[in-house]
Structures are given as structure tokens and as C-alpha cells.
Structure 1
Amino acid sequence: MTTLPPEPEYIPLPPPSAHERARTAFERIAKADRPASWVALRTMDEVLVDAKTVDERVRAGETLSLAGVVCTVDDRYGSPPGSAVSRLTAAGAVLLGTTVFDPECAVIGLGIADLALTTSAREISAPADVISLKPTPGLVPRTGVRESISVSARTLATAQRAVAAMLGPDGLDPDVREWPPDVRLGAGHRPRLGVPDAASLPLPARRAFDVAAASLEASGAVLVPVDASAVSPAGSAAAARTLLADLDALLLPTVGFAESTLNDLDLAAATVPGQRRPYGITVVTRAFEDQIGIDLASVLTGEKCPDPYPAEAVDVVVFGAHLCGQPLHDELRGARFGGLVRTSERYRLVLLSDVTPPQPGLVTGTTGIDGERWRLSPATFDRFADRLAAPFALNRVELEDGSTPLAVVCDPAAATGGESLDRYASWRGYLRFVSTAGPRFPR
């Protein structure tokens, strides 16, 4: 018998405040002792005042997507900072100053900054522990900036939140672009990736590239050999569009091409470090399919980004033949998987007669039913709704968490007399049963 007291319950430490992170940045600046890296370093007092303001805003209840993120800009930016930097600081970022153009992003690699705005007038590189996003040209306003904007950060999530904070018209840049209504939000569970011949690469680069390609293939991607010359400086936007027409993304070794080339070709990119420095992996996508590139990059980093963009989308819950891998799932092409869900105990599934392909209908009842949530862009949702044929319709259902998203439900009259599937709790559960007990679909 022991008389020792029970272990205390673990209480996670709160994240460091913006003030603490800013002070740490100056300590690391002093330790690094690289004065030549800075074009204009703000004084500690100035930065700490800004950081304190961020902490006060958070305590007052504001939700700041970049609260306390320490950032820098490189010297190819205009002065004073334009819309992009203003939007970052409005979202809670704290600006340290302006650095010398640095393709290795030393301020991030040394732990000085969490985030750096860089220009696209550079050769893409992949320093250790640094992730870069090159957004679709025009999504981020260029007001006050000499070049198109890219973002480097310690994590994919930080880089994505930074890009999201800078998006949208500012009323000053006439060339700014917005997300099209039919933008694809996801590449599906079997994305097609173009893979160029890596034979001419240095051996370490080729090994890093092969490891990344194998990781993506293991996650479900289909690797398609391609001629990647269309995304070289000699390529054209039309050739790049043709190359990517039948692909979800292009996987490239991060050596020897400039971000400005991708801008000229109207492409987006996400770059992650490889297993062998300084060789990394760049995922290239069509314009406005930035999120697809980020999703593929996250497979390589092992990091999940909780806040995908664009924000304007419609959630739909499905329960039958529209589930992933089922016969009608292609009607959700371009949608983004939003997770597994379960309804409150107010519904039931019924096996329908005279419906092709065989599928169930969701009607009111006394059981919780498992389904999938999918996020659709506005135009994709409109197409999906237009193609939904009787006896199916869209209506709101109550989930066990109390939310009420739109879902594919069934006309109760069409379910009259159909076999109840209550004991299976889901369409997949029923399919597993018939795969072992023999088909029981209506004749």
C-alpha cells in the first residue's frame, strides 16, 4: 500500500506573450552579432511598446491570428511599409525591422524572427527549418512594395496565417485579385503530381527529391512523369497551364529557378526543406490553388494547418454515395474534407428502392448517423446542388455537437417501406456487412 499523493494534473504552460517574444528576439540578435544583416533595426523600446499593445489587445478579448509573431521585411521593399506589412501588424505581428536581402532567411534560422516577408526577385532556396510560400500573383496587394510578396516562416501554419492576413483588395493596388467563386479547395484523396526527371540533379538533391516523392506517393498521391521545362524561364504561361491541366500539382527540386519565373507563369508555390541541406522541395500549383500546394507540403512537414483559405465556402455533410471513395464522390470534385461527423440521435438511414447507384436516404428517426463534412467553394456548391436529383435534397441537420450544417437528406415518402439500416450506424457499416454476408441491395 502506498501513501504517496496522486500525481498533480498536468496544466500546460501558456504561450509566451508578445512582450516576452520580442525581448527574446533582441537577446538572440545580440548573441548572433550580425549587424551587417540589418538595414534598419528598430529600437528595443519601439518594438516592446508595439508588443505590449498586442498583449493588451489580446487581454481585451481580440482574436489576433498573428498575436506576438515577430517578423521582418527585406530591403527590396519600399519605405514606409505598405498594405501587406500594415495588415500583418493589425493581425498582431510585431515588426523588428528591415534586413539585407537574405535567401537563407538567417533571421528565422537563428530563431530571431518567426516570419519574414521576402521578395520574389530571388532564386528559390530551402534553408534548414525555413518554409516559404509564394502566393498566387496579385492575391496580396503590392502597395508600397517593389516586388511581389513571398513569406518565409518557421512553420507552415504561421506562413499560411500571414498570407491569409494580407489577402484582398486595399483600394490602392489596381491589380489585386480575389479568389474565383469556383476555386478548388482540395485535390482529393488521390492527387496527381507531376514529377520531372531528376537524373541531372546533384546526388544529394536527387536523394532529397526521391524521398519527398516517395512520401507523397505513400500518402496516396499518383506520380506522373512530366517534362518540367514549361516552368523554366523559357516557358510560357500557356505551356504551364497545359502541363498542369491534368495534374493537381508539380513537384520540383528546389534548385536553380527564380520565384519571378513562377510569377510570370501565374503559378503559386510552397517550398519546404529537404532531408539534405540546402536542397528542398517545391510544390507548384495553378493560380488560386495555393491551398492544394500547402496541403501537399504539409505531408512532407508532418504539420497540419488548421485554417485553410479561402474563407468563403459552404459546408455540406454527406451520408451515402457521395462519401469519399463511393460512386458519386466525383460530384464533390474540388471540395475539401472537413472531417468525420455524427448526427444527433434524431435520424435514421433507409436503403432506397429504384435508386442507382444503390444508396441510403437520411430521414428523421431516433439514431445517430456517421457522415463526412465537405467544404465547397460557392460555384462548386451551386453545381452540386443543381445536380442533386430527387429523392435527395439539401436541408440542415443537427450534429451531436449542436451545429446545423447543410446535408444531403431524403424525401421521407421515397424511404417508405425501405429497409432500416439503424443497426449499422453508417452507410460504410452497411457496406462492410454486405461485403461479408452477401449483397442485399434492392432488386
Structure 2
Amino acid sequence: MTVPTGWTLSEWQYAYGKAQLDPKTTLGELRDTLSADDPVWIHIVSQAELDAQIATLTSPSEQPLFGIPFVVKDNIDVAGLPTTAACPSYSYTAKQDATTVARLKAAGAIVLAKTNLDQFATGLVGTRSPYGVVPNSFNPDYVSGGSSSGSAVAVARGLVPFSLGTDTAGSGRVPAGFNNIVGLKPTKGRFSIQGVVPACKSLDCVSVFALTVDDADTVASVLEGFDPADGYSRQPPHSARYWSSQPCFGVPERHDWFGDSEAQRAWEASLEKLQADGVELVPIDFTPMQTLAQLLYGGPWVAERHAAIAEFMAEHAEEMNPVVRGIIEQAQNFSATDAYRAEYARADLARAIQTAMAEVDALLVPTAPRLPTIAQVEADPVGVNSQLGTWTNFVNLADCSALALPAGIRADGLPFGITLIAPAWQDRALTDFGRHWEAIAPWKRGATDLQLPAPNAPSKAPRDHVRLAVVGAHLSGMPLNHQLTERHARLVARTHTAPTYRLYALPDTTPPKPGLIRADEGASIIVELWDIPVDQFGSFVALVPAPLGIGTLTLDDGREVKGFICEGAAVKGARDITELGGWRAFIESRS
């Protein structure tokens, strides 16, 4: 067969599961298609380096990413390979894998190459590297975005299904928006940064590029987890929370498109699509966000960049990209006193931002306000770069999570992207809505001409959730539904039980409640499926009064879920309402 191009994770998994692919042959042929002349790459693995990884594979049943290729931004360590951070004189051979790489390898994923970047991850343009400018995957006259330029373009061109980047100021989001792919920027500390060359270590995140939201989330589930070797690693404080089916997003009151009218039109089209889908959009004053964003490069955080490579710069400053060197040399303009004052300002601004975000589910912004040409960046490398960080630079300083999503192809043939920004640990709410956006506004796979695969409805509850079937007073719009919604449960689907149940109207219950009984001669009863966080499930069950309880129900498709059941003795003398098919029909019949 030909070398796979533009495959998603599920397509790779299916092919391996059906024994259609041999990892050694397929990945060897894929490696051979990569060219050292391509500015996407800094290091392509040798056949021996590839074979050594393949030798560690077990089976698709044991390794969820068995034999799936990926590439790594070259400021992230891969054992035995050089790490350059796009600066040849800085290069060293990594002694061990970064934690993120180690977790992916343990899941069966295979590193094919290290990718190009803006030197020392300083830039949002993809042009600041001695290994060459990485052109946009749609039009080579335009920038690919940075700093994770090579990782984004490798996915957009369909060479690998996912890649690792890093994101301090937007480096995992801007290249996603410029190349029609998904860019997942996690909550700081969700993924380990052990083994990553720091940009600003207190702000750095490893990020994920993928063709679909599902793929990005799958990779994230492998990467996440506390790492005691990383001083900035954190445990999530609670189970994931999700938004309602009609969320409310805060959008900027004012925009500066820097002359890019196509970006403005694409943004307005995205808003129209969201509003037509029932999303509420609330204009918000982004002044605190913009003020905070200016601190990243205009304040003492540049000294944190200097701290990461101070010893190297003392000996090799002249060997650095001049734009990058000029930015980092600004560190000498700030004192320790300046740093503390800036941190106090950051904390106050972050609190103001978090207060504003408490009124909405998330912020919605253009991923970038413009898509410049390479020539425009070369003419004004610092100014244009600053413009590209308009909606990204504040996010890590404010301790937020973010998800960059494709949002259509502009009239000039270039991609446009939107980004959702939520408080820390709202990552799964972001990906949950991202799946919905993918369903209502599907995109092609990066710069390929391939359509996205049809989305699969989730057959089970997300991690840290319980799927619960409700049949009576807890149905949406019913008197006790608030007991679910106040626990951040969300409606997943309306469906039916297997045809083995009978439904009764229980007497003397307030509010009126039904009893569901399994029976030899029964019928399918309408139920709603709700996903409730595990840490909220116990308090919900405690509210369920006798003779009701929570047991296991069988649905009409054979799945088993938790749901309301009733003691058999309680339905003696109760009215059998099975023929009505559900509790809502009974309530309506009474009125």
C-alpha cells in the first residue's frame, strides 16, 4: 500500500488492528519520504533510530498509540537525538526522553523527526531559525506561525497525525490557526515540562497539534498526569466540568485587524454560525487582557527567557538569531524590584480577568488578527510578531487553558482560526465544545483535500463522570432537574430503555415521581442520559428517597448505565403508565 497521508489516529489504529500495516515497513517508507532539505525538519531519525523504537512495540491491544508516528518540536528532548532549540551551537544530545515523549512512547507512538521552530521558542512567526523559514502549508508566501512552526506544518501536510509543540505566548495556537489544524494548549502543569528547553519556565506548556479535536484529546489523555520531576506540575483540583448545550462566550468589544479585512470577514462569519447554533455571545472589555499581554515581552518576563540560556548567551550571543538575541537582551533593563512589581500587576490583572470570565463559560477570540506574508514579517519582525500575539500573550499569565480550532478558508484561500479560552482545568469543556464545533463547521484535514471522518457519538461518559439514566422528576424541565444541573451534570441524549421495563406513577410522592421496574413483559421507556462528575455523584445519590434507588439499567442498544430503579413492593396499587412510553407523556396527560 502507499504511504499513509492525512490519516487520523482512528485510521491508523484501525489499520494496525486489522493487521493491514507492518510498523517496520510502513514507518520506514514514511521516514524515507521526509527530506532533509525541507525546512520543517531539524533532525530526521535514522533507520537504526527508528528500528530501535519499533523494537519496543508490543501490540495494538496493549498500546493505544501502537506504531503511530509523531514529530517533536526541537526544544523537547528525545533520548539519543540532538536538541538544538533551533540554535546549532546550543545543540546537545538528550540523555533521556522528556516526560511527554516518554509517555507517548510507552503508549506505542513512534518519533519520526525533530521539527523546526523560532529559535529558543521566541516568536510567533516561524521565520527566526537558521534552519530556514517554515512556509505556510497553504501558500508559501505567508508565514506558518511560530514558534512551533515545523510541528504544525507537519500535521497540516498530513505527514503525521499529531505532533508536540510548546506554548508560552501562543506558539501552540497561532500555527494551528494559520494551518487549519487543532492546537490544544493545556492548563499549565497538566502536562509535564520536564525535558523541555525553557522559554519562560513558569509559563511554558507542551502543546498538541492534531487534525481533529478527538485526536488532540486522545493524545492529551496520554500526556496528562502529575510528574514529581517537574516543579511546575500540578494535580487537577476536581473532576472535569462541562458547559450546557448552549454556552455563553465572551467576545472582544473592539478589534484591530491591522489591515487584514479577510480575517475580519472570517471572524464575523464564525460568529454568525455560532449564534445560529444557539451560542450566546457577550461583548467584553478586553483591556485587562491586553494590559497583561504587554507584560510578557514588555516586562521582566524577558529576564526569565534570559535565565534559561544565560550561560550560553555569555559565550555565544553572536551566534544567535539577531531578532531573538535583541529580545532576550532586554533582560538587562529589568531589576529584581521590577520583577516583583510586575508579578503584583500580573496577579491583579489575572484576578480581574478571572472575575470577568466568571460571567461566561469561556472567551472566544480570533486565533490571530492577521495572517502576514513572510516579506511583511521580514520588514517589521518585532512589530508584526507583537500583533500576532494580540489574543494569545495573556493566556498563560492569567492561568487559562485554550483550544485553537479551524474556522474556515478565507476568500484568498488562506485558513482562519478561532480560539476558546477558559479558566484553568476547563480543558475538557473546551475539547467537548470543540467536538461540537467540528460537527457544525467541519474543516478539511489541514492543507490536504481530505474530508474529516464522520464524528462518532460518545458511547460512554467522559473520564471522571458517571452516565446516569433519568426517567421522571429529574428530566430536563422537571421539578428536580436542578439537582443535576447544580452538580454540573449535562444532558447527553434522549433515548429508550430495553423493552423489558414497566413504568408506574407512584402514589403520594412530592413532587410526583415514577417507579421503573424490570419485567418479563415490558416496553421501552423514554429516558434522558446525563453525565455527572464522579465527585458529585455521591451527593446526588444521597438525595434519592426510598422506594427509589440507583441501579443499573439496560438501554435499547444493549449498553448498561446507572439509572433510577424502584423497589418492587412500592408499585403495588400504583397506576401502570407503561403504555404512555414515558413520564413526560404522563404529566402532559394529567394537564
Where on the TM-score scale, by shorter chain, does this alignment land: which range?
0.7 to 0.9
Out of 480, 485, 490, the residue aligned to residue 328 of structure 1 is: 480
Closer/same/farther in 2, CA of residues 297 and 207 from structure 1, 3 Å limit: farther
Say whether the 8 Å CA contact 2:406–2:418 is kept in structure 1. Answer: yes
Asked if 1:213 corresponds to 2:268, the answer is: no
Which residues of structure 1 form unaligned runs of 5+? 1-11
**Structure 1, residues 33-80: CA drift from partner, whole Å, max 9, x if none?**
6444322221134225534653x522xx42x32233321111222444
Letter in 2 for 1:42: V
1:273 match: 406
Other structure's SS at 1:246 match? coil
Closer/same/farther in 2, CA of residues 247 and 387 from structure 1, 3 Å limit: farther
- Distance of 2:31 and 2:573 partners within structure 1: 73
Which stretch of structure 1 is more off in the superposition, 276-285 or 322-331?
A: 322-331
Structure 2 counterparts to residues 332-351 of structure 1, below 5 A: 332-333=484-485, 334-351=488-505
Asked if 1:92 corresponds to 2:92, the answer is: no
Structure 2 counterparts to residues 146-157 of structure 1, below 5 A: 146=198, 147-157=204-214
Asked if 1:143 corresponds to 2:166, the answer is: no
Other structure's SS at 2:271 match? helix
1:65 match: 64
Say whether the 8 Å CA contact 2:367–2:392 is kept in structure 1. Answer: no
Q: Following TM superposition, by how much is the alpha carbon of 1:95 offset from its aligned partner in structure 2, in angstroms? A: 0.4
Other structure's SS at 1:272 match? strand
- Distance of 1:70 and 1:191 partners within structure 2: 36
- Distance of 1:47 and 1:246 partners within structure 2: 50
Out of 19, 28, 31, the residue aligned to residue 26 of structure 1 is: 31
Closer/same/farther in 2, CA of residues 272 and 430 from structure 1, 3 Å limit: same
1:3 match: none
Which stretch of structure 1 is more off in the superposition, 97-106 or 252-261?
A: 252-261
Q: Give the TM-score of the pair, scaled to structure 2.
A: 0.64
Say whether the 8 Å CA contact 1:69–1:115 is kept in structure 2. Answer: no
Closer/same/farther in 2, CA of residues 230 and 299 from structure 1, 3 Å limit: farther
Asked if 1:296 corresponds to 2:433, the answer is: yes
Closer/same/farther in 2, CA of residues 128 and 344 from structure 1, 3 Å limit: same
Q: Give the TM-score of the pair, scaled to structure 1.
A: 0.83
1:175 match: 232
Letter in 1 for 2:400: L
Say whether the 8 Å CA contact 2:474–2:480 is kept in structure 1. Answer: yes
**Structure 1, residues 257-292: CA drift from partner, whole Å, max 9, x if none?**
375631221111110122233431001112111111
Structure 2 counterparts to residues 86-235 of structure 1, below 5 A: 86-101=102-117, 102=126, 103=146, 104=149, 105-123=152-170, 124-125=173-174, 126-145=177-196, 146=198, 147-184=204-241, 186-197=242-253, 199-201=255-257, 202-232=260-290, 234=292
**Structure 1, residues 352-371: CA drift from partner, whole Å, max 9, x if none?**
34444444332343323232
Which stretch of structure 1 is more off in the superposition, 367-376 or 309-318?
A: 309-318
Say whether the 8 Å CA contact 2:180–2:416 is kept in structure 1. Answer: no
Identity of aligned residues (%): 28
- Distance of 2:250 and 2:161 partners within structure 1: 32
Q: Following TM superposition, by how much is the alpha carbon of 1:167 offset from its aligned partner in structure 2, in angstroms? A: 1.0
Closer/same/farther in 2, CA of residues 42 and 379 from structure 1, 3 Å limit: same
Say whether the 8 Å CA contact 1:66–1:161 is kept in structure 2. Answer: no
Closer/same/farther in 2, CA of residues 249 and 325 from structure 1, 3 Å limit: farther
Letter in 2 for 1:111: G
Out of 366, 371, 384, the residue aligned to residue 540 of structure 2 is: 384
Q: Following TM superposition, by how much is the alpha carbon of 1:188 offset from its aligned partner in structure 2, in angstroms? A: 1.8
Asked if 1:418 corresponds to 2:418, the answer is: no
Say whether the 8 Å CA contact 1:18–1:52 is kept in structure 2. Answer: no
Which stretch of structure 1 is more off in the superposition, 159-168 or 255-264?
A: 255-264
- Distance of 1:307 and 1:43 partners within structure 2: 41
Asked if 1:244 corresponds to 2:357, the answer is: yes
Say whether the 8 Å CA contact 2:460–2:467 is kept in structure 1. Answer: no
Closer/same/farther in 2, CA of residues 259 and 41 from structure 1, 3 Å limit: farther
2:43 match: 40
Structure 2 counterparts to residues 362-401 of structure 1, below 5 A: 362-365=516-519, 366-367=521-522, 368-400=524-556
Other structure's SS at 2:154 match? helix
Which stretch of structure 1 is more off in the superposition, 258-267 or 238-247?
A: 258-267
Q: Following TM superposition, by how much is the alpha carbon of 1:133 offset from its aligned partner in structure 2, in angstroms? A: 0.3
**Structure 1, residues 331-379: CA drift from partner, whole Å, max 9, x if none?**
2222244544543444221223444444433234332323233222222
Closer/same/farther in 2, CA of residues 214 and 292 from structure 1, 3 Å limit: farther
- Distance of 1:24 and 1:110 partners within structure 2: 17
2:83 match: none
Which stretch of structure 1 is more off in the superposition, 35-44 or 333-342?
A: 333-342
Say whether the 8 Å CA contact 1:215–1:299 is kept in structure 2. Answer: no
Q: Following TM superposition, by how much is the alpha carbon of 1:316 offset from its aligned partner in structure 2, in angstroms? A: 1.8
Letter in 2 for 1:385: V
Closer/same/farther in 2, CA of residues 106 and 399 from structure 1, 3 Å limit: closer
Letter in 1 for 2:66: A
- Distance of 2:563 and 2:458 partners within structure 1: 23
Q: Compute the RMSD of aligned alpha carbons.
A: 3.0
Other structure's SS at 2:160 match? coil
Q: Following TM superposition, by how much is the alpha carbon of 1:222 offset from its aligned partner in structure 2, in angstroms? A: 2.0
Say whether the 8 Å CA contact 1:298–1:304 is kept in structure 2. Answer: no
Other structure's SS at 2:515 match? strand
Other structure's SS at 1:251 match? strand
Q: Following TM superposition, by how much is the alpha carbon of 1:158 offset from its aligned partner in structure 2, in angstroms? A: 1.5
Count of aligned positions: 417
